[in-house]
Amino acid sequence: MLSKPLTIAAVVLQCLVLPAIAQVTLTGCHLHGDVEYCFLPNGEETKVGRPTSSLVTASPTASPTAPSSVAAATTAAAQTTAITGCHSHGTMRFCIKGNGEEVQVMATQTGDAPLPTAYNGCHYHGVEMFCIAPDGTEVEVAAAEAAGEHPEESGASGENCHFHAGVEHCVGGSGVATCERKDRDYNINLRIGLIFPMLFASALAVYAPLVMKKMLKLNVSGIVFTIIKQFGTGVIISTGFVHLLTHAELMFGNECLGELKYEATTTAIAMAGAFIAFLIEYLGHRLASWRRRTITSQALASSTHKGEAASAQGGEAGKNHPSHGDSDSPGLAALSHHHTESYSSVNPNDTMTVLVLEAGIIFHSILLGITLIVAGDSVFVTLYVVIIFHQMFEGLALGARIAAIDDHSPSDGENSVPAWRKAKNWAMPLTFAVITPIGMAIGIGVLNTFNGNNPSTIIALGTLDALSAGVLIWVGLVSLWAHDWLFGDLKDAPLVRTVVAGVSFVGGSVLMGVLGKWA
């Protein structure tokens, strides 16, 4: 008798309660690990479970920057559920809470997409506040007082800032990174005027070894050239590792590029650069060796043919004067031996090595000119002085190697050097001298549009820096350092010369490494 009324009462209770439950709307859904949490109408956070596609919230579809229905709000319990009016002060991002309080959002811009202007679903993990961006990501929110208020009003912040590729890298600060282009003060007239001292300094350094060889009749194997060459070898190796490889790592580690799917991108590209340098030198070596063997064989065949013809024409005269034939034969043999010995001792890779070295230097020198110009006035003069020394050190290194090139070829006479080959050795330094000023001129042209945080710019600069690093590392370690010390004239050099060469090498490495702090 009692079971029927109880059943009816249960049905009535379900009919009254279920609609009320169905009207509960969840907002601000977000993830803690792989568990989804949402907010009840009273602002209380509740666990929903693992995210499913069937969960529906009251949050409407929003644009990437500003959800249409988000308003800065505070619950009855004074809990902030949304922040709006987001804006930037320098590199920091600030938003407004429902009570009008300004807070800092620890958000980082990715790519060219602008940062959101509002966040909802604000909640706490312990004492730290977090809000949800329109794309569902969770960002930390801090009180503006804790963040130091506006950075431009805070004075010295303990930051140590310098520029790489037009991008300001700061160490020791707590500002939020931004990928937007920053307007800076640019003294255009100063930048234009300083192109010419850069041209003069580069030309002076790269031509100095050639002028010394020509005017002072210095031996390229003497102590003076040994000092210059080994100093330059240290400069080249330090440039590859400390400057270019480090810069490429900074480029590909830029937050504006996003997270790389392949973490070894920089070193992989550098390895490709080293392989390209090796391939060019190897093929050049094979070609030069084949050409030398061909010319030597032709010279021997020609000498043999002339000797046989002279014997046939001499006839009986040759029998009456045997000493004449005997004296001719050693002469031809000596000539053949001279050609064979002199050209087998010449490194057929000399010119090719220097060309590869110059290519690696030129690639990054033009980038150096561009990025120097786009640096802000606050650091421009300091950076310019550093790069002047950078170019002079590299110029000495390149000029010494160009001066050491053997201009003779098996097809030339014993003492003759073709004019075009002499001109080539004077044109190669000219290319180095003008390339950085050309980069500076390009930098002036793009001064008002260049953004070193643009993903396309980051990829281009990072790739060229890494490739150039690989080229210079190969040339510096193998073609210059190992060749001189393990197989070249320093292999069995006297102690004094060996010590001087070693000190010069270390000096070049250290000085160029120190310059890496600024450029």
DSSP assignment of 96-159:
E-TTS-EEEE-----TTPPPPS-EEEEEEETTEEEEE-TTS-EEEEEETTTTTS-GGGS-----
Alpha carbons 144 and 74: distance in angstroms, whole number = 18
pLDDT per residue as tens, the chain (519 positions): 445 555 555 555 555 555 544 455 666 666 666 666 776 766 677 777 655 443 444 444 444 444 444 444 444 345 678 888 888 776 678 888 877 788 888 887 776 678 888 898 888 887 888 899 888 888 888 886 544 444 433 334 455 555 655 566 555 555 555 677 777 778 999 999 999 999 999 999 999 999 999 898 888 888 999 999 999 999 999 999 999 999 999 999 988 888 889 999 999 999 999 999 999 989 988 888 888 888 888 778 777 766 666 666 655 555 555 544 444 444 444 434 444 444 334 353 478 889 999 999 998 999 999 999 988 887 889 899 999 999 999 999 999 999 988 655 544 544 556 677 778 888 899 999 999 999 999 999 998 888 888 899 999 999 999 999 999 999 999 999 999 999 888 999 999 999 999 999 999 999 999 998 887
Q: Residues 96, 129: contact at Cβ < 8 Å? A: no
pLDDT of residue 341: 40
Q: Residues 228, 396: contact at Cβ < 8 Å? A: yes
Q: Given the structure tokens 């002085």, which residue do they identify?
A: 385
Q: Residues 372, 387: contact at Cβ < 8 Å? A: yes
HEC sequence for 449-491: CCCCCCHHHHHHHHHHHHHHHHHHHHHHHHHHHHHHHHHCCCC
pTM across the whole model: 0.61
The candidate with the shortest Cα–Cα distance to 497, out of 215, 236, 219, is 219
Q: Given the structure tokens 């992989």, which residue do they identify?
A: 268
Find the farthest-apart pair of alpha carbons in the chain and give their distance in angstroms, rounded.
Answer: 155
The candidate with the shortest Cα–Cα distance to 198, out of 444, 513, 508, 434, is 434
pLDDT of residue 142: 87
Q: Could you give the dihedral angle defined by the CA atoms of residues 322, 323, 326 and 331, in that order, rounded to the nearest 10 degrees?
A: -140
pLDDT of residue 217: 86
pLDDT of residue 67: 45
Query: In angstroms, what CA-CA distances link 29 with 137, 316, 435?
Result: 11, 114, 56
Residue 487, both tokens: 């197989």
Q: Given the structure tokens 């042209």, which residue do they identify?
A: 445
